[in-house]
Homo-oligomer: A and B are copies of this chain.
Amino acid sequence: MKYLENMIREKGEVRPGGIVKVDSFLNHLLDYELYREMGKEFKRLFDGEAVNKILTVEASGIGIACVAAQYFEVPVLFAKKHKTSNIDGELYSASVHSFTHGNDYKMVVAKKYLLPTDRVLIIDDFLANGQAMLGMINIVEQAGAHLCGCGVAVEKAFQQGGELVRQRGVRVEALARIKSIDEDKISFC
């Protein structure tokens, strides 16, 4: 998606260690036009899949999922990152290692909101190491739901996440696939 690639080129800030900061439009300050275009593009890509539920994980995935849901006309279910007093009842859970924060956390979803009859599209902002994505896939499998695929805004194709997910036979669509980040230059696949 050229719109997102151009924005990453123009506004992304490269940091040492293959890090690109997209704070100014994707995951701290959120550009409403970009979110709209991403929502439309996910709908175009997964049209015909009869998606009836979008699954994401807090926090940065929620906004993208909610705007996309306006085009799919389906509800969003967001996995919470720890059991809070806000969720009760039976839970599906998956343990996830966060390379960003250097810790492990548990993501949880109330069982009653994810059904074997569901056709699920997973949406997230970043696919890098793939741990959060694999956690969500695990939860969809626990529920016995059908996984239509995964849509991410940005895939860091030089990290293993995309390969790990695709190896499992899961369709992955990334709106921007970063091939490499060298000093000030970001290259796309």
- In the complex, the count of this chain's copies comes to 2
B62 touches A110 (CB 8 A): no
Nearest CB on B from A29, distance (A): 4
Q: Does A65 have its Cβ within 8 Å of any Cβ on chain B?
A: yes
* Chain A 37-68 per-residue mask, 1 if CB under 8 angstroms from chain B, else 0: 00000000000000000000011001111110
Q: In the complex, which of the residues B70, B101, B113 contacts A36, with contact meaning CB atoms closer than 8 Å?
A: B70
Number of residues on chain A facing chain B (CB within 8 A)? 43
A32 touches B73 (CB 8 A): yes
Interface residues of A (CB under 8 A from B): 15, 21, 23-25, 27-33, 35-36, 58-59, 62-67, 69-70, 72-78, 80, 84-88, 100-102, 109-110, 113
